[in-house]
Structure 1
């Protein structure tokens, strides 16, 4: 009974199952028994779960042909000991209880401690692996080189120095609240990693302070943080009668102030989320006012135009405001003033007008009309529907046809010049003919100037590298990948041929 009392006490202390402790004790007694009677024997121990009595037994398996005399015996041998013995049966010999010597007792203790520790680690891992993304409270147990070990009651966790807020110091015995961002199984036991800088920590703090978030009426769509300094959080309400920003701020700012207090005074901008990317970006740049936005969905970029006096506010100290807005929205944001935007547009208009004057042999009035209608390249004019050109004010069908003819003639001359240049640079015909001529003569010249001359050279590029060389506007990411995969096709063809020859 004393053995069962010890097992109960250990199970309570370590918060593990009593059965696991008793199994560890059985393995310890079993190991001591094998040390006494020989490790080659199949010796097992059993502890009665009600009385605490210990049974030590040797098992012998009945087999047709004996391979190990210490653990097996033939059917004839077995039937001398037990008349009705059958193949596959185990005969059990009761062994006298062990009188534990000092060394045997020490070994048994080590086995029990090891097994109990393994069971405790397994319990900790299983308990905390499903608690990732939760906030936990604990006491600081020790601080080493800025890393804080936190006692969570039933386990220990690590709060690394880079996961602490700036200028934040903890001492032994301090209470700490943190976010579980990872739980890993490692050789030294489960490792629970905490953070106070993770965006999820702020989201969970708001969920604790704002009942509408906890109930799912208000949803946190995104969080961006500059830990200890400033943060932006985007929220949306699924109930039109509830203002998501007002609910998160609370009466006289009580809710948001509770979160700010926990985060050591980190300033928090609460932003209304919008499905419309442009509106969301404008909201995210608050408190700056925005005059105009231009989306480039293909490159995931957005140009934001602000009044001259709002530029520093939009960018923020050391670029903090625009950086957090970019993280929050997932868009690359370029900010410019109205004056800069006007100058940029004027320069673009001037450049395009000059191109049309030169390529189409027209005067500035016609060139400006084409630019005003949104034409940016000679290719667009060459291959657009003539009816669209004819609809421009002052144009008719004859003018449209003439413009198209001149555009196509200019492109043909350009292609001939570029083809000649491509050949001079040594770019192979195989590259030029790839993917039904998707690489234009101009693109091929750019490749040649960058040392890409053969299929192998092209195949070695990544999609982004190809777009950087020929121009991001020239090919989309999907087209770039298609071109590179077509260039690599001969590698697989060669592999197939090689495999066939070997076979």
Structure 2
């Protein structure tokens, strides 16, 4: 065996052991990398066409090098095949179809071969190290980990985690937090992604779960599951809210999270760079939870619109700015915490709004039902707001209104039906004038009023609807905090970013159904392959 190999058998194994310990990978992987490097060097020496194998004994360090050839009757490739006569010289009793091992003499490593082998080993070890890092961290998303700041690149913080590196992207950092190289830093493992250049470990200090995990570390009752954080919302670096509930009635969840003289919550606040934290009791009752979430403001009344998933909160005049918070922060966090859009009105605003709605609904009933003002106002006072409610409510409910009898209830329902029919006819006429196809009326959930809305938006054919995405058709309009000086609701501003039919209460699934029905009716799938794999033409022929 050549000096380059035979004289250093023990050294080969020592190198393999050292690399395996340093990179925290299996020793066998390092030895396999060495074998692969030797195989490639041997192919360079004896010819790349040969099937050459190398094997290092993991105990002694001995290297065996051989060529594998197949015994065939007629040799076509002299590099990988051998005749029966020649095979007999290498192995007695060799038969056609057998694979014969042809030992090769050891090779000398020149400078080029040594450098190439070194690169191969480095690459194999690097790949194994990346795989080890991914396997170690892939199931740890959601954990808090401590590392040392290694460098700051383009605003992103690279953290040394000991066995790997993580990155805190700019949008996952706490605003205005000063981070220096060498600082120890705690962060949440947000995601671990397998990429070409190795596993990417994304960390966060701005995610609400980071705050929840910090509380779990500081509050034993949360770690033990006695207290649960049901919801959390953050404005990183400024303010946060968490909703907590206790499974033990003898333990106050808010007091346990605050700790003696605020020691527990202060430990979390310091880690989050002074971020103020409101700890509020969670409640399964949405109205109660909203009232708690808007603390420290006092709430006079809560009105929930379950259809729109909006909540109207009425507060005293002197509590308005406190409820909204600086730049809408308090109501924004409360909205994130409850998962509901919140509109805040003063008592004067609420009274004005109710009065306006009362007048509008009364006028609508007067005109559509042809009744006097007193009767129209009585209907509104009893909670009726639309013609549909009057037309389709149980007649017994109408007749129980003071001053009403069965005959009057029946007459009002008949007039409401006639008014709805008139509106339907007017919508049909307007829809025709807009050029909307009759075929659209056959689509699920579609009404004449919806078709008028579509026509005004320039959507007049099945193909027009088929071209839409679901959010373009039914997505609800987004609500944003009202800016200073804007009119309208005190905390929310509706922007026309919703779908064309956003005001009709259709769900995403219903929107998908409408679009797919339009595409089917328009014949988009007529040329799709059938179960036999053949394509059907429009007239049914194949």
- Shorter-chain TM-score: what band? over 0.9
Task: Report the TM-score when normalising by structure 1.
Answer: 0.93
Distance 1:300 1:233 in 2: 21
Q: Post-superposition shift, 1:440?
A: 3.9
- 1:37-63, CA deviations, whole angstroms, 9 ceiling, x for partnerless residues? 111111111111111111111222234
CA RMSD of aligned residues (A): 2.3
Query: Which range moved further: 379-388 or 70-79?
Result: 70-79
User: 1:137·1:177 contact (CA, 8 Å) conserved in 2?
Assistant: yes
Alignment pair present for 1:190 and 2:221: no
* Equivalent residue number for residue 38 of structure 1: 47
Q: Which runs of no fewer than 5 residues in structure 1 stay unpaired? A: none
Which residue does the alignment assign to 2:483?
none
Q: Is residue 2:121 matched to residue 1:90? A: no
Q: How much has 1:65 moved relative to structure 2?
A: 5.5
Distance 1:486 1:26, change over 3 A: closer
**CA distance in structure 1 between the partners assigned to 2:412 and 2:226 by the alignment:** 59
Q: Secondary structure at the match of 1:376?
A: coil
CA displacement at 1:288 relative to structure 2: 1.3
Q: Which residue pairs with 2:453 in the alignment?
A: 446
Q: Deviations over 1:1-23 (max 9, x none)?
A: 12111111111111111111111
Which of residues 109, 129, 133 in structure 2 aligns to 1:100?
109
* 1:391 match: 400
Question: Shift of the alpha carbon at 1:499?
Answer: 6.2
Report the secondary structure of 1:472's partner residue.
Answer: helix
Q: CA deviation at 1:231?
A: 0.7
Q: Pick closer, same or farther for the CA change 1:217–1:68 going to 2, 3 Å.
A: farther
TM-score by length of 2: 0.87
**Partner of 1:113 in structure 2?**
122
The 5 A counterparts of 1:63-142 are 63=72, 66-142=75-151
For residues 13-36 of structure 1, give each alpha carbon's deviation from its aligned partner in whole angstroms, at most 9, with x where no partner exists.
Answer: 111111111111111111121111
2:297 pairs with one of 280, 288, 292: 288
Alpha-carbon distance in structure 1 between the residues aligned to 2:74 and 2:372: 106
- Cross-structure match for 1:23: 32
- Give, in whole Å, the separation in 2 of the partners of 1:481 and 1:141: 49
**Do the aligned partners of 1:298 and 1:476 also contact (CA within 8 Å) in 2?**
no
Are residues 1:456 and 2:463 paired? yes
The question of 1:489 aligning with 2:520 is answered yes
- The CA distance in 2 between the partners of 1:33 and 1:461, in whole Å, is 62
Alignment of 1:5-404 (within 5 A): 5-63=14-72, 66-404=75-413
The Cα of 1:260 is off from its aligned counterpart by 0.4
* Alpha carbons 2:454, 2:500 under 8 Å: kept: yes
Residue 69 of structure 1: how far off its partner (Å) = 2.0
Aligned partners of 1:471 and 1:161: how far apart in 2? 35
CA drift of 1:474 comes to 6.4
Q: Confirm whether residue 498 of structure 1 aligns to residue 537 of structure 2.
A: yes
Segments of structure 2 that go 5 or more residues without pairing to the other structure are 1-9, 475-498, 529-535
SS at match of 1:131: coil
Q: CA deviation at 1:66?
A: 4.3
Q: Tell me if structure 1 keeps the 8 A contact 2:307–2:505.
A: no
Q: Residues 308 and 505 of structure 2 are in contact (CA less than 8 Å); yes or no, is this contact kept in structure 1?
A: no
Deviation string, structure 1 residues 442-476 (Cα, Å, up to 9, x no partner): 44333333333333334434555555545624656
- The structure richer in helix per residue is 1
Name the SS for the 1:228 alignment partner: coil
Q: 1:285 Cα deviation (Å)?
A: 1.3
| C-alpha distance in 1 between matches for 2:539 and 2:14 | 72
* Equivalent residue, structure 2, for 1:472: 503
Which deviates further from its counterpart, 64-73 or 165-174?
A: 64-73
